[in-house]
Structure 1
Amino acid sequence: MKKHPEIQLLIFDLGNVIYDIDYQRTFDKLYAKLPTEKHAMVKEFMVSPIHMDLETGTIDEAGFRNGVREYFSADWEDDWIDEVWNSLLVDIPQERLDLLLKLKEKYPLYMLSNTNSIHFKIVEQVFKQKLPAGAWPQLFDHLFLSHEMGLRKPGEAIYREVVKTIGAKPESCLFFDDLKANLLGAEKVGIKTFHIDHPKALINFFGNV
């Protein structure tokens, strides 16, 4: 990697770095179900304690669904809540998967994501469907998932735990994320970063691997 010759391993965020996501898809499903006077609640939900608690594993899936019903004062079925929640997951472009497979030949790869168990079930299914048979379990050396760790980006604690678990010097790690706040959190512990600011950013960064 000419841009960072000292880099020994790569850490990738999931959403909009590897897996395209679109919150508007979830918003639109909720808008269609809710009266106009409740529409302002939709985007506020994304930063609500219920959402954050699911991402840190503080509540389980049942607790989350009950929290959604209570938040919106709506008697929605579990399956519909999951459908709405997962609708923001768009797809993984094949060119990104091909890039990861090539990078795997040269570097240890890690995922670091603020995610939750409802989303990650779908994520795993898509990886398995789109990767060569048996490739998914070996693609990443470790999955650092917020709901399993009890920590979230951009808090420094999650980055310190990542570096500790990997057993690497922070400056030997390169972290890709689409949110600048998450990059700043990583930089505070010495991790090198790169901002993914458009859909082709990852592909363009590596060029012809």
Structure 2
Amino acid sequence: MKNLKNIDFLLFDLGNVIIDIDYQFTFNELNKLLPENKNHLVQLFFPSNFHKLYEKGLISSEKFRDEVRLHFQEDWSDTQINQIWNSLLKDIPKERIDLIKSLRSDYGLAVLSNTNEIHIEKVNEILAEHHDLPSLHPLFDEVYFSHDLQLAKPSEEIYEVVANKLNTDPSKILFFDDLEENLLGARTVGYQTHLINHPKGLISFFENVL
């Protein structure tokens, strides 16, 4: 059990921590759209260099869409690409929003996510439609996105930058992520960490420690 009395900031990933994501759904959607002889390109999409560059904010949304068209050799519209790309973003359960709100009086709260401009626009739409919130900012003291920082997890540098921005010793940050490799990078810098590997994982953690 963590001693949360020694924690200044609770730091949250977005995907599968705050918002549910389903990569397989997007894979399936792409496979439906593509002829069978292009299905192999689907598995190469997420590891692609242009995806990583976009996640770090090193190419624009326009350039990213052009790279998607080139990668799949399809003349998809910007709207089609946005819809496909955002199809992995699912629900933000109300219980997670309520939990975050309940923690604000006792802890500093922040987000650190590997994400991109197109996804965040969609996340804001989901928040507005289902939770009457314009963005993540009313819920958190600080919000850090990889495409703004031009760095990405699990590099040690991004965790050092965030600790400096929070003006907090890394050992007083408790970081929640759904990927062990991201937690490993954070622990190397000195963060406390907790793996979220179940849809109820975040809720269960706080039920056990508070």
Give the corresponding residue for 1:147.
Answer: 147
Shift of 1:182: 0.2
Instruction: Could you list the structure 1 runs, at least 4 aligned residues long, displaced by more than 6 angstroms after superposition.
Output: none
Letter matched to residue 201 of structure 2: A
- In 2 relative to 1, CA 170–88 (structure 1 residues): closer, same or farther, beyond 3 Å? same
In structure 1, the gaps of 5 or more residues are: none
In structure 2, the gaps of 5 or more residues are: none
Shift of 1:5: 2.7
Give the corresponding residue for 1:188.
Answer: 188
Q: Distance in 2 between matches of 1:176 and 1:197?
A: 10
Q: TM-score when scaled to structure 2?
A: 0.94
Give the corresponding residue for 1:89.
Answer: 89
- In 2 relative to 1, CA 45–170 (structure 1 residues): closer, same or farther, beyond 3 Å? same
Give the corresponding residue for 2:14.
Answer: 14
Correspondence 1:169-184 to 2 at 5 A: 169-184=169-184
Shift of 1:131: 3.3
Correspondence 1:11-90 to 2 at 5 A: 11-90=11-90
Shift of 1:136: 4.8
Letter matched to residue 189 of structure 2: V
CA contact (8 A) 2:61 2:118 kept: yes
Q: Distance in 1 between matches of 2:81 and 2:195?
A: 32
Shift of 1:134: 7.2
Shift of 1:9: 1.2
- In 2 relative to 1, CA 140–86 (structure 1 residues): closer, same or farther, beyond 3 Å? same
Q: Distance in 2 between matches of 1:135 and 1:66?
A: 27
Give the corresponding residue for 1:99.
Answer: 99
Q: Distance in 1 between matches of 2:3 and 2:46?
A: 36
Q: Distance in 2 between matches of 1:134 and 1:25?
A: 26
Structure 1 position 4 matched with structure 2 position 29: no
- In 2 relative to 1, CA 19–74 (structure 1 residues): closer, same or farther, beyond 3 Å? same
Query: SS state of the match for residue 144, structure 1?
Result: strand
CA contact (8 A) 1:174 1:192 kept: yes
CA contact (8 A) 2:65 2:81 kept: yes
Moved more, 23-32 or 151-160: 23-32
Give the corresponding residue for 1:202.
Answer: 202
Listed one character per residue, the Cα deviations across residues 164-198 of structure 1 (whole Å, up to 9, x for unaligned) are 10100001000000000000000010010000011
Structure 1 position 119 matched with structure 2 position 119: yes
Shift of 1:161: 0.3
- In 2 relative to 1, CA 19–31 (structure 1 residues): closer, same or farther, beyond 3 Å? same
